[in-house]
Every structure is written in C-alpha cells, then in structure tokens.
Amino acid sequence: MVQGSPRKKSAVFIINSLAGGGAERVMTTLLRASGSWRDRYDISLVLLDREPGAYPVPDWIDVVQFDTRGNLVSGIRALRRLIAAQRPDVTLSFLTRANVANVAASAGLGIRCIISERVNSSAHFGGRLRAAASRWLLRFTYPRADHVVAVSYGVADDLARNFSVRENRISVIANPVDHDLIAECGLADPAVPVPEDYVAAAGRLVPNKNFAMLIEAFARSELPGSLVILGEGPERANLEAHVARLGLEGRVHLPGFVENPFAILRRASLFALPSNAEGFPNGLVEAMACGLPVVATNCASGPSEILLGCPREEVQGVVECDAGIVVPTNDVAAFTKALRMLDDPEKRKRKGDAAAEITRAFDTAQTANRYWETIETTLAVGQPSPLARHDGMPMRQAVVAPGSSSNSN
C-alpha cells in the first residue's frame, strides 16, 4: 500500500448458496458489477451451504463455502467464527436464513451489518406453526441490523408494519437487469427443445408460484400453441398430474431448471406470472427485458409497482397497462381473460416493446452503486438516508431508478 493512502476496507457478502434462483443470480450480478469498488474494498463471498453453483463468481472475489446443510445454528456458528477472525468492516446478506445468521453472528463485534430482504415475508410465510416461529425470529433479529435493503416498496412496508423494522433503517433498491447478458444469451440456441408458439413462465415449482392456476387458465383460454414453465421444485409431480387431468400432455412443457432461460424467453409470445407472492419478480422483469408482454398477478410485492407505478392496494380487477395486463391473485377466470386479451400479434409486439423500455431504468451499474452507497453511508454514519417514499414522486419513477436520490430460504 502506498504510504499515506487510506486503508482498504473489507466487505463480506453472504448468501445460503449459489444454487439456481433469482436471489442467487442477483447476488452474482451485483458482484460482477462491483469491480470499480475493488480499489476501496477487499470483497469476499460466504456461502453457507455446499451446493452446486448455478452462477459464476468473478475470479477476483475470495469465496468461502461452509457445509451447514440448511441448519441455521450451524450457519451462525460458522459465520461468527469467520467474522470474529477476519473482522470485516461490513457484512451484507441476501435471503432470510443468511440474514438471520448475519445479524446473530455480527452481534457485539462492532461490525456494520446490512441485510437484504428479497421476499414479502408476511405473504411468504403463510399461517403454519413453523411460519409463526419464523416470523418471531425475523421480528427478533431484523430490527437489530444496522440497515435493511428491501427490493420493493411492498417489501419495505411489510418489514416496517409487521416486523418492527424502523422506516429510517430501510432503503428500497430494485433488482438489477443485466441487459447485455440477456441480449447475448437470448441469441443462443435453446438448451432444450421448444415448440414453435408458446407462452413462457419461470420460477421454482412451489405452491406460492401458483403454476397450477396458470395451467388451468391456459387450458380454459383455448389459445393455440403451448405453455413452457421453466424451473424445478417439489411441486413437479403435482403439476404433471394436473397437466394429465386436463389432457394437456404435449402442450404444457416442464423442462426443469435451464441455465440459460433467455434463449427460451426471447422466442416466446408472452410471459405469465401467476404468483401469490413475490419480493421483486426477477423473472417478470427479465422477460420484459427480452421484449415480452406480460400477464401478471397483483401479488405482494412488485408487479403493480413495476407495471402500474402504484401500490397493489390501489389496483382492482383486471387492469391493462403499457406492458401487459395485471390481474387479481389466484383468479383463474381473470387470468384466462387476460391471456385471451393478448391473443393479437400486433398488440403483443406493441406491449413487448413498451415492456423492454421500462426495464432500461433497472441498470446494473446504477443498482450496484446504490448498494455500495448504502454500504459507505452505513459505515460513515450508521444510517443511510432511505429512498424518498412519500415525497410526491410517482412510484414508478422511484422504483425503476434505484440509483436516484429520491425482483427457498
């Protein structure tokens, strides 16, 4: 180090693993876009679980991988040993289990702790007994973080109202969209056979994604072509049985997790998001970046902010917008109607162009800088100024411009 130059700080990023998923892809996108901060920070990544990685990490980032097998207590112990030994200036975690482990492991060590919540926790947990314990755990740990990043205003409001996180400790930073990567990957040949004409959907095959409702709506719509649902998960057998009951074998395809989804999305006629809950719907925005019009449920949280520029509570019924159509959650009839409304190539082209234009504001570099500005301000004064949320600015402007001063845990 040159004499008199400032000491390089240390930042540790933490996530459960880099197995296929939206948060994992965002984490690696953020790290790839952080190269300009290398002269000021030593950057490392901690993976709590030993799982095959679906997304590459830049070779200039040190990676530490534990083998906690999803066990929270083991994760806290391993992470605290590492943090106590390395004494980084700041930690930043993605996903609920990693967030809880981050807060617990950092406690009392004088290290700034930032967590990023990727889901609407109230909607995500539901009403089960185990979920009640998870909600209590979040209420106990999340308020103790130095700062909390939410991926949408719906997630931010949920944290403040239901998990005792003070509003002045919350910033909203939308997920980044890597347009160059999406464009490049979109030109590749699909890794799996795809039909000539199809509606696309993507996500983990879990109940909250509500693909069963989408399959039902597709059947009722009597649209020509096929439905392709990208992703893997525990609901596969149930969904395959549902397809068989409806007589849709050969028209509904479940190819599993695909490393390059963009080659498939780019060739689709439209994108469907049937979810009952999202934090920030990465798949929706990435499909829009591929130039697809969308049919999306008005779930908590994100679709109404992205597509309509307003909170979900202000949206009633089926609402058509520039980029597609927003419908109520878990409403087969409404989703069927929306699919039929987009059965017009010229209309789809017009809405697809508008969808792609909307995503231009989710710039990767801008989003990464917003994260690093949050880190720097947290280190300097402990509390970054949250993004303006009640200053009269239209929500769409605030959400899609994350860099202004104003997507299983």
Domain segments of the chain as ranges: 9-176+363-400, 179-359
Find all residues with CB under 8 Å of 278, minimum gap 6, and list them.
Answer: 119, 120, 284, 299, 300, 301, 302, 303, 407
53-to-11, 24, 185, 324 alpha-carbon distances in Å: 21, 9, 18, 34
pLDDT tens digits, 341-366: 999 999 999 999 999 999 987 889 88
Is 120 in contact with 154 (CB distance < 8 Å)?
yes
**399: nearest Cα among 287, 289, 311, 294:** 311
Is 284 in contact with 306 (CB distance < 8 Å)?
yes
The string of DSSP codes covering 267-311 is T-SEEEE--SB-SS-HHHHHHHHTT--EEEE--BSSHHHHHTSS-
CA 374 vs. chain centroid, Å, equals: 19
Using DSSP, state whether 81 is helix, strand or coil: helix
Q: State whether CATH 3.30.465.10 applies to domain 179-359.
A: no
**Structure pTM?**
0.78
Each residue's pLDDT, cut to its tens digit, for the chain (409 residues) gives 445 556 799 999 999 999 977 889 899 999 999 999 999 999 999 999 999 998 899 999 999 999 999 999 999 999 999 999 999 999 999 999 999 999 999 999 999 999 999 877 776 665 566 678 888 999 999 999 999 999 988 899 999 999 999 999 999 998 888 899 999 999 999 999 999 999 999 999 999 999 999 999 999 999 999 999 999 999 999 999 999 999 999 999 999 999 899 999 999 999 999 999 887 888 999 999 999 999 999 998 889 989 998 888 899 999 999 999 999 999 999 999 999 999 999 999 999 999 999 998 788 988 999 999 999 999 997 555 444 333 222 333 333 223 332 233 3
Asked if the bond preceding 122 is cis, omega within 30° of 0, the reply is no
CATH of domain 9-176+363-400: 3.40.50.2000
Q: What is the pLDDT of residue 382?
A: 54
**273: nearest Cα among 327, 196, 344:** 327
pLDDT tens digits, 32-51: 999 999 999 999 999 999 99
Same fold, 9-176+363-400 and 179-359: yes
Using DSSP, state whether 126 is helix, strand or coil: coil
End-to-end CA distance of the chain: 40
Cβ count near 136 (within 10 Å): 11
